[in-house]
Structure 1
Amino acid sequence: MAGRDLARRGHGPLSTPARPLARHAEWHWATQQAQLVLNSQDLGLILRFYRGVHGLNQTDLGALLGYDKTYISALELGKRRIDDVGSLRHICAQLQLPPHVLGVTDAADVDHRAMIQFGASTVRLAEIARQSGHASEAVSELWPLVARLEARLDDGHGERDVLHLLGRARIGLGVALGNVLPEERLGTAATWTLKGLMLAEYADDTEFTGYALRMHGNELRKAGIGGAAVDRLSRAVALAPHDTARAAALPLLARAAGALGNAPLFDQAIRQADALLSTVEHTSLFNPFALHEIRLRGLADTGRVADAIALAKDGPAPTTAVAPQWRVIELVTVARIMLAAADLRGATTTLESAVSEATVQRLPHQLQRIMRTAGVRLPDVQGAAAQALEQLRAEMAA
């Protein structure tokens, strides 16, 4: 991975991200204001914007481009034009602009556009692979894309489309890693989603930021950082511009609130999610089956085990909208409730199925959940899960 990233370039605290453009001159073309300037294809406007970002006067910019102050002034005022392709390429190179912005198309620019298109497809396909139970394949697809985009960023090219794609690729990589890494390494997944969130907040894109907050908050929860997880997910709900975005955030907030033992917040999030079930299209996370598991776990985590036992008997069947890993998640949660009801036989059968599924899907984190759930009461199940986990660790190490 390329070494430099926003965390090392003076980005402010996550809750109040710093955005002074002059401080982030490497990404001066990534803001919404910059996008409007570039879309104008007005060289004079672009030059003035560049000077403002970098704190340059016309003499300074002239020295950078090899022109005198008078010529820069004429260009900015629209009194002079540059039509020579070589000169336009020179300006783009010096200002770190994609050449097509000034009407020039060359091999490098064609390659850049192809990379953006290919990269967007890679991110989409990786997400489909992860939700289909193939998170390892998603990781394999996203590593090289992230490396290539970060290399472009290191070269000083921080156009908005590059940063947007890199943000989504970092988040996708983090979420996929969150499926395939064992618990003690889940902080790595949260680190990658944080890097994506920082790019989203810098770009000042509300919908993208909400998505990044959801993904980062969920990885924080899995890593055991409950307070921060609830904070990020509460912000995602508050930022949601429409019901679909709220429906994506509320189940995750409910899970995090339950894990933190915050019963009022858990109940509120579940109620709001239930209210949207009949109006919002179901997804791999937002569907009756997933919400049932979240409700069971949250009730148990907030001290209402009797309610969870009563509810466990009437769970909905999984549908095609449910991701394969959710079946494993639900099996472990149901087994936990069975143990609370002293149903050792039912819990054993359920956890044995969970071990088999988690092994096939290569889900070390779920195998660790099985081991904790089985505990000393079901030593054979705990041993089978431990053996499967060690096999996965060996394969990952290789």
Structure 2
Amino acid sequence: MQAAPIASVVWLWAAPEAATAIATRDLPTILRAYRRVNGLNQIQLGELLGYDSSYISMIETGRRPITDVTARRHIAGRLGIPAHVLGITGTDDAEFRAMLQFGDSTVRLAEIARQSGHAAEAVNELWPLVARLEARAAEGHLERDSLVLLAQARVGLGVSLGAVLPEERLSSAARWTGQAVTIAARLDDPMFRAYTLRMHGNELRKAGHPAAAVARLKESKELSRDPAALGGTLAFMCRAFGVLGDAERFDTALHEYRTLLEGNTGSGLLFQPFTLREIELRGLLCTGRAAEAGRLVHVQAGRPAAPQWRIIERVTTGEVLAAVNELDSAAVFFEDAIEDAEHRRLPHQIQRAIRATAQAGLDELATEARAALARIRSLLGSGRSE
């Protein structure tokens, strides 16, 4: 099953030069960068914008400055760039005030979209809000409400990017969540700070920095009071200890998680039996206890709270089954996970499947997974928003 095209704004994180070009706020620079990142020539960019290629050439070389507000708004919309980046609106206009008024709702709806398996759409919703708030902060407008909203939006953007970007780009997600931690440290709100530390810790782990992740998660644990929040922190700690291969600390965190869950009703994506089982399976495998994971893999525990958790569990189950040499069963889980991950546009899970299938000698599946990843990469670089 081929994935639907990724929302256009994700191109901003497909290559480092994209964000650099956006920061210049210079239209010719942005257009040239857009073409390079997406592999387009001037004819193709002209087709996207509805302009002749010679007109694109004149814009890029500065021979045809675009001063018309309608034209700039049209270009911004087609490229997924917030209008103010091209100088169309100021940060104190009615549009900005409305954005602030409905900012909390934007963040909440984006979170619902991400948890429902639509992380690219969440990025598309959050990026304009973040960009406008960043611009206001840069001008010295640091009202508390704006700062809180900016931190919330930064976390949401970072976590959503952590779902739609491939592994080599996950540092972008960690940077955004890290910037939210910086703001939270200035606010007198321990629960919110615990939340930002928890999410930043997990993005650090995914970006390949498990020791740094543990440090952030320890801070979050000290500040967490709500069982679901503490459970989420413990879930991420288990992940990080597993990556580090630290069996003792993994077992301790897992025991705390299980005890907490037994005494409280599970809620959310991270604090429930299905998540506990998946975390335990992966941790046992990472800490060299494949046989123990192999016994647990056939024990079911509830249903996933979100589509992406089903995919995560499918890959993990495939890894465990392959490790205990149940290759036929492993192949079934991997095939299901690869197809669903492409449909949900989760490149990181496909990359996990590529490594696992290649290691298990499931060469046909590994080839299938690489093809699925290539299709998602193509969408990441296309800037399409159909």
TM-score by length of 2: 0.73
- Counterpart of 1:314 (choices 291, 299, 306) is 299
What SS does the aligned partner of 2:342 have?
helix
- Counterpart of 1:373 (choices 351, 356, 359) is 356
| C-alpha contact (below 8 Å) 1:247/1:280 kept by paired residues | no
Instruction: Say whether residues 1:249 and 2:229 are aligned partners.
Output: no
What SS does the aligned partner of 1:202 have?
coil
- Counterpart of 2:277 (choices 280, 292, 313) is 292
Q: Structure 2: which amino acid aligns with 1:263?
A: A
Separation in 1, partners of 2:117, 2:185? 30
| C-alpha contact (below 8 Å) 2:228/2:271 kept by paired residues | no
Distance 1:122 1:382, change over 3 A: same
Separation in 1, partners of 2:117, 2:226? 28
| C-alpha contact (below 8 Å) 1:338/1:344 kept by paired residues | yes
- Deviation per CA, 1:188-230: give whole Å up to 9, x if none: 1101110111111122421111000110000011111110011
| C-alpha contact (below 8 Å) 1:142/1:172 kept by paired residues | yes
Separation in 1, partners of 2:23, 2:184? 19
Instruction: Say whether residues 1:206 and 2:206 are aligned partners.
Output: no
Q: Structure 1: which amino acid aligns with 2:348?
A: H
Separation in 2, partners of 1:253, 1:225? 13
Aligned to 2:163: 179
Aligned to 1:122: 106
- Counterpart of 1:348 (choices 326, 331, 336) is 331
Separation in 1, partners of 2:232, 2:206? 17
Aligned to 2:85: none
Separation in 2, partners of 1:280, 1:246? 13
Separation in 2, partners of 1:242, 1:282? 11
What SS does the aligned partner of 1:121 have?
helix
Note the residue ranges of structure 2 that are not aligned, 5 or more in a row: 1-18, 25-91
What SS does the aligned partner of 1:375 have?
helix
Instruction: Say whether residues 1:339 and 2:336 are aligned partners.
Output: no
Distance 1:110 1:389, change over 3 A: closer
Aligned to 2:121: 137
| C-alpha contact (below 8 Å) 2:99/2:129 kept by paired residues | no
* Alpha-carbon distance, 1:151 to partner: 1.2
Aligned to 2:150: 166
* Alpha-carbon distance, 1:113 to partner: 5.4
Aligned to 1:19: none
Aligned to 1:88: none
- Counterpart of 1:359 (choices 327, 330, 342) is 342
* Bigger Rg over Cα: 1
- Counterpart of 1:235 (choices 200, 219, 223) is 219
Q: Structure 2: which amino acid aligns with 1:130?
A: R
Separation in 2, partners of 1:362, 1:244? 27
RMSD after superposition: 1.9
* Alpha-carbon distance, 1:173 to partner: 0.3
What SS does the aligned partner of 2:140 have?
coil
Aligned to 1:272: 256
Separation in 1, partners of 2:202, 2:119? 16
256-265 or 129-138, which deviates more: 256-265
Aligned to 1:85: none
| C-alpha contact (below 8 Å) 2:100/2:146 kept by paired residues | yes
What SS does the aligned partner of 2:102 have?
helix
The sequence identity of aligned pairs, in percent, is 49
State how 1:15-94 maps to structure 2 within 5 Å.
none
- Deviation per CA, 1:85-131: give whole Å up to 9, x if none: xxxxxxxxxxxxxxxxxxxxxxx697665332311110000000000
Aligned to 2:131: 147
Separation in 1, partners of 2:218, 2:96? 37
